[in-house]
Amino acid sequence: MKEKWLAWAVELQSIAQAGIFYSKDKFDIERFERIRAIAAEMISCKTDIPADKVRDLFCGETGYQTPKIDTRAAIFADGKILLVQEKDGRWALPGGWCDVNVSVKENTIKEVKEEAGLDVTAERIIAVQDRSKHNLPVYAYGVCKIFVLCGAVGGQFEENIETTGFSYFSEEELPALATEKNNEEQIKMCFDAYKSPNWEVLFD
């Protein structure tokens, strides 16, 4: 799914980031900083995203580059899946970036509480996916998406800075999805896991 030019830009950025972090020679660091700048310029040129925004997203990290972790919670009631409504009107599984001080399980529970107001238990992993193989648009950094089957045990929705509401949907009546976060294929995967007592974790 990832275009060749983007794969090259991401690899250049990764090499430059590690070089900047580990190099001791100031001239080597200067060269790696230029490579990183070129990679950011490639992204900006091909996507029409302003260069300063690309640098913020693309060049703000230090050390060896690794994928970010995004957790998504699949919660069911009466055979329907819970989705939260984004500010733009589209719908997604509750979830988000995994914070540095919490585990995948803790982050899944936290994100559901923040976005849907529900208290849940994280019961089992549905899938671990490389985002670049499943979702558009492409990102300039790697993302590991972890889908978690959860059970609701309490709580109620309160409007917040991220979502405006939530509802349960059947597999046949899915709303307009925030496909950069979860697409129809991924939602249907969650339904399959919910229905299967012997589900085996999928991973790329």
Fold topology of 68-203: Nucleoside Triphosphate Pyrophosphohydrolase (3.90.79)
User: What pLDDT score was predicted for residue 76?
Assistant: 98
For a pLDDT cut of 90, what percent of the chain falls above it? Answer: 70
| Burial readout 95-114 (b: 16 or more C-beta within 10 A, e: otherwise) | bbebeeeeebbebbbbbbbb
pLDDT per position as a tens digit, 147-168:
999 999 999 998 899 999 999 9
User: What pLDDT score was predicted for residue 138?
Assistant: 73
Helix (H) and strand (E) counts in the chain: 5, 8
Q: Rounded CA gap, 183 and 141, in Å?
A: 19
User: What pLDDT score was predicted for residue 59?
Assistant: 66
For a pLDDT cut of 70, what percent of the chain falls above it? Answer: 96
User: What pLDDT score was predicted for residue 58?
Assistant: 66
User: What pLDDT score was predicted for residue 55?
Assistant: 75
pLDDT per position as a tens digit, 43-65:
888 877 777 777 776 666 677 77
Q: Which two tokens stand for residue 200?
A: 């085996």
Q: Rounded CA gap, 54 and 60, in Å?
A: 10
User: Measured at the alpha carbon of residue 32, what is the angle toward residues 141 and 45, in degrees to the nearest 5?
Assistant: 50
Model confidence band, residue 85 (pLDDT cutoffs 50, 70, 90)? very high
Q: Which two tokens stand for residue 172?
A: 């046949």
Model confidence band, residue 97 (pLDDT cutoffs 50, 70, 90)? very high
User: What pLDDT score was predicted for residue 86?
Assistant: 95
pLDDT per position as a tens digit, 11-35:
898 898 889 989 999 999 999 999 9
pTM above 0.75, yes or no: yes
Residue identified by tokens 């959860």 is 150
Asked if 79 and 190 touch (Cβ cutoff 8 Å), the reply is no
User: What pLDDT score was predicted for residue 40?
Assistant: 87
